[in-house]
Amino acid sequence: MKSLFLSCLYRVFQMQLILFFTPPVLSITIQDAFDSALRSDPTLRASRFSQDALSENITIAKSKFLPQIALQGSSNRLIQNTTQDLPGNVSMSRSFSGPSVNHQFVIKQAILRPRDSAAIGVAELQAQFGKVKYQADTFDLWIRVVNAWIELVGSMQLVESYEKPLQLLFVAVKQEKTKFLQGDGTKDAIIEAEAQYQFALAAYQQSLHALNGKKQIFRLLTQFEVDSTFSTKLELNPCFIFTEKDRDRLWMQAREKSLELQLAEIQEQMQRERTRMVKADHLPTLDFLAAVATAKNDATSTQGYRYQNNQIGIQYMIPVYSGGSISAAQRQAAMELEASMANSEALANRLDADFGTLWSAWLGQRSRVQAGFLLLESSKEHLKSTQLAYTYGVKTLMELANAEVALSRRLADQINIVMEYQKYTAKLSKTDFKLNEKNLNCGY
């Protein structure tokens, strides 16, 4: 009867805690967090600026084939003394003082520029590289947001799981002390109960510190202040959105949509264009040139004269010899191209190995989720039977507390296993930004 009274008292106290200390519930979805991170993440903002900067290279490269128009000139005050020596030790001097003016208006149009033509191709590839790099940084941000969301939700559940047995352990410690004072208990039982309580309290406090750290990470990443619990929780027996038959399909999808491979391919193409640019240094260039010049007193022979020159024609340049630098640059570009091709091959091999490792880890974690859930159900049934036995006086309050602690530990283990499993699932869902907490966190 006494044990039944203590059980009822504990349940009433637990209900009061729930009523008076339940925090408000907050609903922040993965998409909400990702949208906020897109607006505030400095890494992604830097990537966007870099993309815009690289796209300007196209305008810079194409500008070489547009008319180059320049206006230049000078205006000075000229004071000049000229002395001419004549035969017979005779000289004749002449002085001039007045304005000296020279203005030129020049139009230059490129006709044949092999190197600049190749530079346009490089600029277009650089702009494409910036675009794909931004997509890669966006996906990296998405992975960081998903992981932060999973860790935050899981940390909240861990706090709840570690908090649950504390009150029952506290009551069990008091009961053991009371029994000892009444001569019905032992000192070692008090020490054991106190140790169990302190260990559970330490685990709870550690989970609180970890939660605060996850909140800080989530806030820095998404700018969301998390001062309450989430309405969404990690499903402890999640459904598996992939099967073993999906491996080849996922690998082909990962390879085809791999942003890393796309970046490596673009770099290889850029190196090919740079090789073409270097080869073009041996080729001639041809420009159309038109100029209008007006001048006054700009030379000794034109003092006191005003004149205007109009000219139109072509300007060419044929490389003959540059000390071997062009040939060396060609060899250098060819070796850099070979290096780019080798890097692409090495990257493809690494992605294959990484996917195999990720797939094996996902399969292993899936099995751990299934086994852990069965262990969790076993602990729940053990707690139920212990509660029933305690109600009828067969089990002690300390035994009930130990069953509660065992369930708490199994629950914490399962939460950690599910967190890792969901992270692996997110990585397998590459480039799929539509993955959300509903299909990531579905349950049976």
Q: Where are the alpha helices (DSSP H) in 392-444?
A: 397-428, 437-440
**CATH classification (class only), 2-40+113-283+319-440:** mainly alpha
Q: What is the pLDDT of residue 21?
A: 35
DSSP 443: B
Q: What is the pLDDT of residue 296?
A: 78
Spatial separation of the C-alpha atoms in residues 161 and 401, rounded to whole Å: 14
Q: Which residue has the higher pLDDT, 321 or 155?
A: 155
Residue 23 pLDDT grade (very low, low, confident, very high; cuts 50, 70, 90): very low
Spatial separation of the C-alpha atoms in residues 215 and 407, rounded to whole Å: 26
SS3 at position 317: strand
Q: What is the CA radius of gyration of the chain?
A: 40
Q: Where are the alpha helices (DSSP H) in 100-246?
A: 114-163, 166-181, 187-222
Q: Which residue has the tokens 């067969």?
A: 394
β-strand partners of 105: 71, 292
Q: Mark residue 108 as left, alpha or beta (left: phi above 0; alpha: psi -120 to 50; beta: remaining).
A: beta
First to last CA, the chain: 40
Report the candidate in 335, 162, 150, 315 with the shortest Cα–Cα distance to residue 142.
150
Task: For residue 63, give both structure tokens.
Answer: 């500008």
Q: How many helices (H) and strands (E) does the chain have?
A: 11, 6
- Per residue in 188-213, pLDDT tens? 888 999 999 999 999 999 999 999 99
Is the pLDDT reported for residue 3 higher than 50? no
Task: For residue 171, give both structure tokens.
Answer: 């009551």
- ∠ Cα 81 82 87 (to 5°): 145
Q: Which residue has the higher pLDDT, 440 or 241?
A: 241
Residues 6+ apart with CB under 8 A from 364: none
Is the pLDDT reported for residue 8 higher than 70? no
Is the pLDDT reported for residue 84 higher than 90? no
Pairing of strands 306-317, 285-296: antiparallel
Q: Which residue has the tokens 């109009």?
A: 310
Which has the minimum average pLDDT: 159-163, 169-173, 191-195, 239-243? 239-243
Residue 18 pLDDT grade (very low, low, confident, very high; cuts 50, 70, 90): very low
Residue 233 pLDDT grade (very low, low, confident, very high; cuts 50, 70, 90): confident
- Per residue in 325-353, pLDDT tens? 888 988 998 999 999 999 999 999 999 99
Q: Residue 115: how many CA atoms within 13 Å on its side-chain side?
A: 12
**All structural domains of the chain with their residue ranges:** 2-40+113-283+319-440
Q: What is the pTM of this model?
A: 0.80
Percent above pLDDT 90 for the chain: 58
- Per residue in 255-309, pLDDT tens? 888 999 999 999 999 999 999 988 888 899 999 999 998 887 666 666 667 778 8
Q: What is the pLDDT of residue 298?
A: 60
